[in-house]
Amino acid sequence: MNIRAYFKFWKESWKYKTSLAVERYKSVYNIPYETLARKGVKLLIFDVDDTLTAYHDRVEEKTRTLLKELTKSFHVALLSNCTAKRREEIQQMLPDVNVYISQENDKPAPHSFRSIIEHFKAAGENTAMIGDRLIVDLWGALQGGINHRFLIEPYSFYYGGEKAPVFIIFLRALEKKLFLRTKLTSSSP
């Protein structure tokens, strides 16, 4: 994680009248991807840990199937602050899924998001970021020029598995308490 960029948010947070999350969903399985396609979204960027999987856990078959299906309509990229070893593990868990795994691990720095947009020759208005952290995932995406930003509840909260370290759980709760202005859109499966 880019600590300098993270603290920049806290220093400048009073400036943000825009909601960091455009919409909120229970999980990646509840997002209306068909609606995004109709709105012209071409690129989906997902955080990994506690978004697509439990914290540092394996990619479940349900998630693999979702990603595979999404690649039929979108470019799909994964952006995580994980180690190179973890990125390699993720790649091995998705051998038959055509997703781009960014080598950046510098969220919330805007260049992490922009590098993916540039890789696909996309535009911010045609890109969506999906993550479980307001500042690291969604503020970084906002700074990177991404218009569609979706906050989801932590994967491990609903589907089990390893939870994030206590300090991340604390920061996530603090960020939501202070900066979340968007109500949960869907509570179905």
Supply the pLDDT for residue 188.
Answer: 43
pLDDT tens string 51-93: 999 998 999 999 999 999 999 999 999 999 888 999 999 999 9
Supply the pLDDT for residue 13.
Answer: 67
pLDDT tier, 101 (very low <50, low <70, confident <90, very high otherwise): very high
> Domains of the chain by range and CATH?
21-179 (3.40.50.1000)
In 10 A of CB 100, how many CB atoms?
16
What SS3 state is found at 58? coil
What is the dihedral sign for C-alpha 135, 149, 164, 100? negative
Higher pLDDT residue, 1 or 43? Answer: 43
Question: Quick check: 130 and 31 in contact, CB under 8 A?
Answer: yes
pLDDT tier, 7 (very low <50, low <70, confident <90, very high otherwise): confident
pLDDT at 186 over 60: no
Distances (CA, A) of 60 to 54, 67, 87, 117: 9, 11, 16, 26
Phi, psi of 106 (to 5 degrees): -125, 20
Q: pTM for the complete prediction? A: 0.89
Q: What is the chain's mean pLDDT, rounded?
A: 89
Q: Percent of the chain scored above 90 by pLDDT?
A: 65
pLDDT tens string 10-48: 667 656 656 777 899 999 999 999 999 999 999 999 999
Distances (CA, A) of 116 to 43, 57, 68, 121: 9, 24, 19, 8
